[in-house]
Amino acid sequence: MLRGSIVKSRSFLLLLIISLFVFMLSGCGADNQTSVTPTPEPSTPPTPTPTPEPSPETSDSGSNKPKGPVYEPIGSSLAEAYADYFLIGTIYTPNTLVDPERSLVIEQFNCITPENIMKPESMQPSEGYFAFTLPDAMLKFAEENNIKVIGHTLVWHQQSGRFLGQTSDREKAIEQLRNHITNVVGNYKGRIMAWDVVNEAVKDGAPLPADGDWTKCLRETQWLRSIGPDYIEMAFRFAHEADPDAKLYYNDYNMNDEDKAKVVHAMVKDLRAKGVPIHGIGMQGHYDTNVSIESVEKSIKMFSELGVEVSITELDISVNDASVSKSLTEEQEVRQAIVYAKLFKLFKQYKDNIVRVTFWGTIDSKSWRRDKFPCLFRNDYTPKEAYYAILDPEKYLAEHGVAEE
């Protein structure tokens, strides 16, 4: 009985060992059938390679060829050519800080007028808030490069926002006028050569009345409605109080029109007789190739008789028959250049009266009259015939067979 039990126990133990051995063999062969997901170890993400930004100086291909137009020094300077006559100016925009515009302005001009950044709504975009950032950058650029600055403009019927002068309360309007002028002029006291204080206040086609009352010829503006004709006198007095050393100008277009010139002459004469500090008259000079040189001279003479400075403040000459979709023909360029030469020959004759000649733009494509190609430089920043005509007007006229007038 005992022997049988021992045999059974041994048989069971042997069976158990064999089963365990088979199980172990099965587990070892399962590596290609089952897997245990390992605990992931933290990995460091790859450092991204930055996409190179194209340099403004080079093309996308990485070559050294400039992407856009480049101003190549001409070897001559309008400012230097007229150093013994008057200042030569152009407009300033924020783009003036960037080449090629920057290089052109620095080489050719010694005076700048902001095209838009100092107009009333730009200087005071909301009532009581004054924006000086852009003009500050302009002054910094000018002072670093020994360039004079003209402030343009303090009082105008356009680009003046929705609140300046827009009230029926006369006292409130006067305070708005005073506050705007005092803050803007005062902020740049001693740094701005001259201000266009009042701009385009005389209406077109209004001859001076027989009684000489120039106030009847004033443009209907928010300031005339809210204050009356004396807003002009107030504006000049406020500006003078804010900066006694700055020259103060009345500025207008079509000043070679005899009727308008007579109205402005009467206005300035009358105000100066009252002691109003008006120091200069700005003739804008937005002409075309048919302009009468004689009419320009008559106005220069008339204004000079008042004992004030005269400046040509926004000169450009449109080519009447220019095609918008094309560039100027050689004949058109020469025709425009001859008009510029005639004007500058005239200006030189009045060097004792003219303080400054400012062009309203540098290249045609950025001009407000771009469809008529009025500027001295082409879109690629190369000089047009007009540039050389201005550089030496007498020589240019002689070379093109233009007789003495």
Catalytic residues: 200, 314
Tokens 């309203």: give the residue: 360
Q: How far apart are CA 126 and CA 160, in angstroms?
A: 10
**DSSP state at residue 316:** E
In sequence order, what DSSP letters do the residues of 328-390 get, joined into one string?
A: PPHHHHHHHHHHHHHHHHHHHHTTTTEEEEEES-SBGGGSTTGGG--SSB-TTS-B-HHHHHH
Q: How far apart are CA 160 and CA 231, in angstroms?
A: 15
In sequence order, what DSSP letters do the residues of 253-282 get, joined into one string?
A: S-TTSHHHHHHHHHHHHHHHHTT----EEE
Handedness of CA 117, 119, 125, 131 (dihedral sign): positive
Q: How many angstroms separate the first and last alpha carbons of the chain?
A: 155
Count other C-beta atoms under 10 Å from residue 137's C-beta: 15
Of 148, 287, 169, 267, nearest in space to 225 by CA: 169
Count of residues for the chain? 405
Q: How far apart are CA 303 and CA 268, in angstroms?
A: 9
Q: How far apart are CA 268 and CA 152, in angstroms?
A: 19
CA angle 316, 319, 324 (to 5 degrees): 110
Answer whether 332's CB lies under 8 Å from 380's CB: no
